[in-house]
Amino acid sequence: MSGVPKLSICDTTLRDGNHAVGHQLGRADISAYARAAEAAGVDVVEVGHGNGLGASSIQVGMAALTDAEMLRAAKAELRTARLGVLSIPGFASVERDLKPALDCGVDEVRVGAHCTEADVTRQQVTMLRAMGVAVKGMLLMSHMASAAKLLEQARLMQGYGAEAVILMDSAGAYTPEKVREKVGELVEHLDIAVGFHAHNNLGMSVVNSMTAIEAGATIVDVTARGFGAGAGNAPIELVAANLHVGQVETDIQLFGALDAADVAQERFVKHVPTNDSVTIASGIAGVFSGFAAPVRRASARFGVDPRRILLELGNRRVVAGQEDTIIEVAMSLAAEQSH
């Protein structure tokens, strides 16, 4: 590992994990877990609504707390770990959401966009860099684009001033071969750090995360017990265990990571994410993991197999933000069944 930058661990339990409880994490939950993550030695604790700043709404779910309440609760517990947020243009605006978040002590912002639409991040990335804020780009649903396309989009983010680009496997659809290909392409051709954010729909979150590290990624995202949308994310406790076995240099403490996972399960992980027929179908179809709950509701309402809904959503290449299509597809399949 000589000459290789130390691996940075971003703990997204208090952001991605909010999906798993309908965005209802409370102040005490956030405080307790932020303390545990700090003790575990993670580099960044990402906090907020599952869809990031400004996303609390009837359409995608109302959060129990405001962005400011969540951020202040976490910030009060952090000493070494940095406080991070996700900002997706369309959900988050500069004046209403980003600047108030910075006032709450946010140290790092990830600005995310669909994997072929990096240009929409330009305003936020350039503004944040001009303000001296650490900012990283995130390409969502990155399984949907080729390695060459991802490199093109990542170069845009690099040009805007992003300090890193993270590939998000939003549907849990990656195989290790694709991780190696796409992460490797970015590592070889970018002048900034590359990261990977795994989901577990096909049961590959840990191996994909470790493969990303082997391919040169220096940022990896985790959540306690895999707590996250759909089938969940790469569990901090399993990633930490594999880093320990592989003797990968990082600040994360093995026992601290195990303790953090225990804290999360005791306090708010009511159901440890598992792979069921719906989340597996979501991974096969390459559909956003956050669609699992609304697809289940549409399935019950219209009497249609949720797996059929997911496969059709995949055929239509539906992405996050197109939730209305779930109802349209369910109604269409229900009509087919009645004939």
Q: Which residues are catalytic?
A: 19
Residue 16 assigned ligand-binding role: yes
CA distances from 314 to 44, 139, 141, 300, 324 (A): 32, 18, 12, 20, 14
Residue 170 assigned ligand-binding role: yes
Are the C-beta atoms of residues 189 and 163 closer than 8 Å to each other?
no
Give the residue from 23, 51, 12 showing the smallest Cα distance to 320.
51
Give residues with Cβ within 8 angstroms of 181, minimum separation 6.
147
Long-range contacts of 260-263 (CB under 8 A, 24+ apart): 260/11, 260/13, 260/33, 260/36, 260/37, 260/39, 260/40, 260/224, 260/236, 261/224, 261/225, 261/235, 261/236, 261/237, 263/32, 263/33, 263/36, 263/224
Residue 197 assigned ligand-binding role: yes
Residue 23 assigned ligand-binding role: no
Q: Which helix (H) or strand (E) holds 302?
A: helix 292-302
Binding residues for Mn(2+): 16, 197, 199
Binding-site members are 15-16, 170, 197, 199
